[in-house]
Structure 1
Amino acid sequence: MADIELDAVDRRILAILQHNGRTPNQEIAERVNLSPSPCLRRIRRLEESGVIRGYVALLDPHKLGLGLLAYVNVRLDKRAGATGFAGATHAEQFRAAVQAWPEVVACHAMTGEMDYLLRVQVADMAHFSRFVQEQLLRHPSVVDVKTSFALESLKETTALPIG
């Protein structure tokens, strides 16, 4: 899908919605100097084009008992022709497994020595240990894992720098 053109009004609408996705259309329209109907049309265009992927509630992991944040670098077996269940490559199996692990809240394919970077949110070290030993290290393609734990969060945002 081609990128859509975003003008200054679109960017202001996006900034408002990034700050609070529940802002009423009437308020957004007033803040961007549009009437409600054209404002709503712009928002719908942004949604339909995929610029706005969805609306969510942001939860506090600590208040949910998920106080340990780990970043896990994973290296996979990359032997040529290595396949697992049903002819899927180890990488395909790993990507599917990550989708099923609720502790993994983000996964990125990486350049460099390691193949993937996982952001893992768990209750405590015992929970993390169970996840690593019972899920991650048991996966047939995983050959190396390196973990760093977050000591403190200095900045965490879902807002993108849209200008």
Structure 2
Amino acid sequence: MPEEQMATSGARAPARPLDDIDRSILYMLQSDGRASIRSVAERVHVSRANAYARINRLIDDGVIRGFSALIDQERAGQGASAYITLKIVQNSWRTVREKLHALPGAAHIALVSGDFDVLLLVHTKDNRALRELVLTRIQAMDEVLSTRTLLVFEETDLQEGGGG
């Protein structure tokens, strides 16, 4: 498909294959998104120019979608977290996704298979705010048939080194 057609149709060229150096760079940036080009180059044993070019290629290919900060939700005033499962009306995923994305505290939205259709991670100030979010915002959506709320008691972010 010509490039101008891909741009208008929304299709993207597939990412180029990754080698061991690319994977090492990705692993390092997942652990420390603020790592300098110099430190990346030294760690994976390539020149700074090569590391810079590889990182830019990974960004251009859409392998690296962005850089972000890992937030301690409780310290940031979001003391209640929950996974909410939703059963939704068939073929309403795009509409539901847009509505969920607009919710305050929505952190992750996934279309899944199994006993429910959508898995939503939310962070709220407290349980009262969580209750209001579920009962007055999510369950009020016409496309939502049912919900189940799973409170998060403790979590570990694997990108912080808690997974190894």
Give the shorter-chain TM-score range.
Answer: 0.7 to 0.9
Structure 2 length-normalised TM: 0.83
Residue identity matched to 2:84: V
What's the CA shift for 1:29? Answer: 1.1
Which residue of 1 is the match for residue 157 of structure 2? Answer: 156
Find the counterpart in structure 2 of residue 29 from structure 1: 41
- Are 1:112 and 2:124 counterparts? no
The answer on whether the counterparts of 1:4 and 1:49 sit within 8 Å (CA) in structure 2 is yes
- Compare relative contact order (CA 8 Å, sep 6+) and give the higher one, 1 or 2: 1
- State the percentage of identical aligned residues: 30
Alignment of 1:43-58 (within 5 A): 43-58=55-70
1:31-90 Cα offsets, whole Å, 9 max, x none, are 211111111111111111111111111111011111211111111233xxxxxxxxxx64
Does the 8 Å contact 2:93/2:111 carry over to 1?
no
SS in 1 for 2:158: coil
RMSD, matched Cα: 1.7
When residues 131 and 28 of structure 1 are mapped into structure 2, their CA distance, relative to the original with a 3 A threshold, is same
Query: Where does structure 1 lack aligned partners over 5 or more consecutive residues?
Result: 79-88
- Partner Cα separation in structure 2 for residue 92 and residue 46 of structure 1: 28
Does the residue aligned with 1:3 lie in a helix, a strand or coil? coil
Q: TM-score, normalised by structure 1?
A: 0.83
Structure 2 residue runs without a partner (length 5+): 1-12
Counterparts of 2:143 and 2:43, CA distance in 1: 52
Q: Deviations over 1:69-125 (max 9, x none)?
A: 1111111233xxxxxxxxxx6443212101211222111112122111111111111
Tell me if structure 2 keeps the 8 A contact 1:71–1:147.
yes
2: CA distance, partners of 1:12 / 1:23: 13
Match of 1:83 in 2: none
Assess if the C-alpha contact under 8 Å between 1:90 and 1:140 holds in 2.
no
Whole-angstrom distance in 1 between the partners of 2:45 and 2:39: 10
Q: Distance in 2 between matches of 1:123 and 1:135?
A: 16
Q: Distance in 2 between matches of 1:123 and 1:17?
A: 30
